[in-house]
């Protein structure tokens, strides 16, 4: 039988194809197996981690903001529950209808509704969006009761900043506000700034210690589905609360000073003359810092801006005023350094001639012959015109700078203004004109170009009372349980005998008959104060007004009246505290400012024993871990 060679050829061709196909299949399985080994064995840990990340999300939790307390632990800024309502848009068929129903319970303006609708449109439908917050308990309860009729709306409780003393500490403590884009631009790597509802310090100590008060963020580990919706919370770390800041303030004194200055555009500062610790720092009127946290309405904010008493200005350190007769102690020190004998007398008949110009004393008939003690006691302008003329502006400016005027102190509260202590060089730089001798005379009584703040006047008073120690004001005692270091203050190169002359003159002002503040003295033994009145003009007084006798402040419009000032230290025998009071357009220092200063100082002195007993030491700092402001005229009246 013959063999068909064509069949054999087909067989061989089939066999080769089978082998090639089989080899390809084997190679494919080999590559697939190698890939599976690579993915499942070699890279198993990496892909397991990626898988977990897809299933478990880590979400930041804003920490509780640190508290601010006074020297005795009284809470000045804390946190409280924030009753609010949030909306999950996927749970309501009509967002607008839900908002309309909510508006029957809580007032929501048309502009606020537009913002809410915009926020809802931007956010994923399952993410809660804040609709309203800072609700009262009654409002919050009503929302809870009506929840079935408010589809998509959920009651919620968070934390918000709270200032229990409101206006009484507004300028000092400051306030917080929501985060704005500019805040994020300043710190792009700070994740806390991107959290909904997070607040940052915008004023006062809240701004100065913002990063310290923020604390450290916590985290919540939640299980999510493929759409990112939360299924359940696996673990939670609330983070670390912000550090507590302990101030030098005595809230009882602060509160009393605010009440004593109520209704005035004024400021008062109290300091410990040895340590520089600020016991009270008041500026009235003020604003409610809680409103900046919850949101000032347009009308309410406009009322603040339009108020002639300038409640948004921290007058204690940014209010600038001619110091008036309170500057006469500086002129006295400069004159004593120049070699002038304090017992030498100058005759005051009410007028002082310089060339063809007459400078007047506040007392029309004059004071007669007075020495330095009597000139301070009676606030005689003629005496200090003469002392300023003999001494010169350069020596006067030098003494003013050494005793704290015309400068800032790196005070913890932002917004300090240095004021002006004029010199020959300053005037040439500022006006391009030469210094005139008449300007030296009016500088000698605290008028002219001179501008000071109440804080500076208190520092000046402290350095005079403590024997020439150049203390600086400080407001913070401790941060996070650790005392803030207090470097020793340098001594001013001044003869103690010169300071004694000035101190005795101030004692005469308050405690000797005829002194300009004798009627406002402290009569209780051991509490006596030594002070100096001042009335600073805000306009030039014409001869017609002077001769016609119509210069009574009470007959003038408020803005035309003199500023009233008073500075003092106490007790006289053993000085411990200094105080400055400035009442804008208050009239005379003796009539308006001195009585207020007396009352505040008496309050401070009577609390002295309590203050010493509760004085903070490194070993017994209070622990609070929980958070639940042109040249002026030439006449000065003492």
| Per-residue model confidence as pLDDT tens digits over 49-93 | 545 555 666 666 778 899 999 999 999 999 988 888 888 888 888
In the predicted model, what is the mean pLDDT of residues 339-356? 96
Give the number of other CB atoms < 10 A from CB of residue 9.
Answer: 10
Which pLDDT score, from 0 to 100, does residue 629 have?
35
Nearest to 333 by CA among 491, 497, 511, 466: 497
DSSP 355-378: TTEEEE-SSTT--EEE-HHHHHHH
For 187-206, what is the mean pLDDT?
A: 82
Residue 571: count other Cβ atoms within 10 Å of its Cβ.
Answer: 18
pLDDT recorded at residue 630? 34
d(CA 279, CA 268): 10
Q: For residue 328, with 0-12 CB atoms within 10 Å meaning exposed, 13-18 middle and 19 or more buried, which class applies? A: buried
Task: Tell me whether strands 266-272 and 245-247 are parallel, antiparallel or unpaired.
Answer: unpaired
Identify the pLDDT of residue 459: 98
Q: Give 512 or 630, the one with higher predicted confidence.
A: 512
CATH topology of domain 251-303+310-613: Beta-lactamase (3.40.710)
Contact at 8 Å (CB) between 440 and 331?
no
Domain locations along the chain: 53-81+158-247, 104-122+130-152, 251-303+310-613
Q: For residue range 430-444, what is the model confidence (pLDDT) as tens digits? A: 999 999 999 999 999
What is the residue-wise DSSP string for 428-443?
HHHHS----HHHHHHH
Strands 245-247 and 68-69: parallel
Q: How far apart are CA 584 and CA 566, in angstroms?
A: 12
User: 474: which strand partners?
Assistant: 277
Given pLDDT bands bounded at 50, 70 and 90, which one contains residue 181? confident
Say what the pLDDT of residue 457 is: 98
State how far the Cα of 386 lies from the Cα of 353, in Å rounded to an integer.
10
C-alpha 42/C-alpha 29 separation (Å) is 18
Give all strands (DSSP E) within 541-623, no chain letters. Answer: 563-570, 577-583
CA distance 169 to 258: 9
List the structure tokens of 366: 């004059």
Q: Which of 148-152, 230-234, 585-589 has the lowest mean pLDDT?
A: 230-234
Q: Which helix (H) or strand (E) holds 534?
A: strand 530-536
**DSSP 3-state assignment of 224?**
strand
pLDDT, position 156: 79
Closest to 461 (Cα-Cα) out of 624, 273, 605, 625: 273
Task: Give Cα separations from 394 to 259, 391, 425, 446, 484 (angstroms).
Answer: 41, 8, 10, 15, 37
Lookup: tokens for 606 = 């009577």
Closest CA to 99 of 158, 152, 155: 152
- ∠ CA 208-579-317, rounded to 5°: 35
- What distance in Å separates the CA atoms of residue 466 and residue 569, rounded to the nearest whole number? 9
In terms of phi and psi (left: phi > 0; alpha: psi -120 to 50; beta: otherwise), the region of 305 is alpha
Say what the pLDDT of residue 78 is: 94
For residue 624, pLDDT beyond 70: no
- Say if residues 366 and 349 touch (Cβ distance below 8 Å): yes
Give the torsion sign (CA, 108, 114, 115, 118).
positive
pLDDT band at 10 (very low <50, low <70, confident <90, very high): low
Confidence of residue 520 (pLDDT cuts 50, 70, 90): very high
d(CA 311, CA 303) in angstroms, rounded, equals 10
**Residue 544's pLDDT is what?**
56
Q: How far is CA 3 from CA 8, 15, 84, 295, 582, in A?
A: 9, 19, 98, 105, 131
pLDDT given for residue 281 in this prediction: 98
Say if residues 605 and 483 touch (Cβ distance below 8 Å).
no
Whole-number percent of the chain with pLDDT over 90: 57
- Which contiguous run of DSSP H or E holds residue 383? helix 381-391
| Selected catalytic residue, list 325, 462, 510, 535 | 325
pLDDT in tens, 279-321: 999 999 999 999 887 777 788 889 999 999 999 999 999 999 9
As a whole number of angstroms, the distance between CA 102 and CA 397 comes to 65
CATH of domain 53-81+158-247: 3.90.1310.10
Question: Does residue 623 have an active-site annotation?
Answer: no
């Amino acid at each position: 039988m013959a063999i068909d060679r064509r069949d054999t050829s087909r067989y061989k061709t089939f066999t080769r194809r089978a082998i090639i196909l089989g080899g390809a299949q084997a190679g494919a399985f080999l590559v697939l197996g190698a890939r599976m080994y690579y993915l499942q064995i070699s890279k198993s840990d990496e892909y397991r981690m990626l898988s977990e990340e897809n299933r478990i999300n880590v979400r930041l939790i804003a920490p509780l903001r640190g508290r601010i307390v006074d020297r005795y632990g009284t809470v000045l800024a804390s946190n409280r529950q924030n009753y609010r309502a949030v909306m999950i848009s996927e749970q309501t068929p009509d967002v607008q209808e839900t908002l309309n129903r909510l508006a029957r319970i809580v007032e929501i303006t048309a502009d606020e509704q537009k913002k809410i609708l915009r926020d809802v449109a931007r956010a994923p439908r399952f993410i809660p969006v804040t609709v309203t917050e800072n609700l009262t308990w009654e409002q919050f309860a009503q929302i809870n009761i009506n929840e079935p009729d408010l589809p998509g709306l959920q009651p919620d409780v968070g934390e918000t900043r709270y200032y229990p003393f409101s206006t009484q500490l507004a300028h000092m403590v400051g306030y917080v506000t929501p985060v704005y884009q500019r805040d994020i631009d300043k710190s792009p790597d700070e994740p806390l700034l991107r959290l909904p509802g997070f607040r940052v310090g915008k004023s006062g100590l809240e701004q100065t210690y913002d990063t310290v008060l923020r604390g450290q963020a916590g985290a919540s580990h939640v299980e999510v589905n493929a759409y990112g919706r939360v299924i359940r919370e696996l673990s939670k770390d609330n983070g670390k609360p912000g550090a507590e800041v302990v101030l030098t303030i005595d809230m009882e004194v602060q509160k009393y000073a605010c009440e004593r200055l109520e209704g005035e555009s004024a400021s008062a500062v109290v300091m410990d003359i040895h340590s520089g610790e600020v016991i009270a720092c008041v500026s009235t009127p003020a604003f409610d810092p809680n409103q900046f946290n919850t949101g000032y309405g347009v009308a309410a904010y406009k009322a603040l801006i339009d108020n002639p008493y300038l409640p948004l200005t921290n007058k204690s350190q940014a209010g600038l005023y001619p110091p008036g007769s309170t500057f006469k102690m500086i002129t006295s020190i400069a004159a004593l350094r120049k070699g002038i004998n304090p017992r030498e007398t100058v005759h005051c008949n009410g007028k002082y001639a310089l060339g063809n110009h007459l400078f007047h004393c506040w007392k029309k008939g004059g004071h007669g012959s007075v020495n330095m003690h009597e000139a301070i006691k009676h606030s005689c302008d003629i005496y200090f015109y003469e002392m300023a003329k003999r001494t010169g502006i350069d020596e006067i400016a030098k003494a003013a700078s050494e005793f704290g005027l015309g400068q800032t102190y790196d005070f913890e509260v932002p917004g300090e203004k240095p004021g002006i202590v004029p010199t020959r060089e300053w005037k040439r730089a500022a006006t391009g004109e030469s210094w005139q001798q008449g300007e030296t005379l009016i500088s000698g009584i605290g008028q002219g170009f001179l501008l000071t703040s109440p804080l500076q006047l208190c520092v000046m008073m402290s350095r005079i009372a403590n024997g020439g120690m150049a203390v600086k004001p400080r407001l913070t005692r401790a941060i996070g349980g650790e005392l803030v270091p207090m470097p020793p203050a340098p001594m001013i190169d001044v003869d103690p005998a010169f300071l004694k002359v000035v101190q005795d003159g101030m004692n005469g002002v308050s405690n000797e008959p005829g002194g300009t503040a004798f009627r406002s003295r402290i009569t209780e033994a051991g509490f006596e104060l030594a002070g100096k009145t001042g009335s600073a003009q805000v306009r030039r007084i014409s001869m017609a007004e002077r001769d016609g006798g119509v210069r009574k402040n009470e007959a003038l419009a408020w803005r035309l009246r003199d500023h009233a000032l008073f500075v003092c230290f106490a007790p006289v025998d053993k000085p411990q505290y200094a105080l400055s009071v400035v009442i804008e357009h208050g009239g005379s220092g003796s009539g308006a400012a001195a009585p207020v200063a007396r009352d505040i100082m008496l309050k401070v002195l009577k609390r002295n024993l309590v203050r010493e007993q509760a004085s903070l030491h490194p070993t017994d700092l209070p622990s609070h871990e929980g958070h639940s402001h042109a040249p002026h005229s030439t006449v000065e009246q003492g």
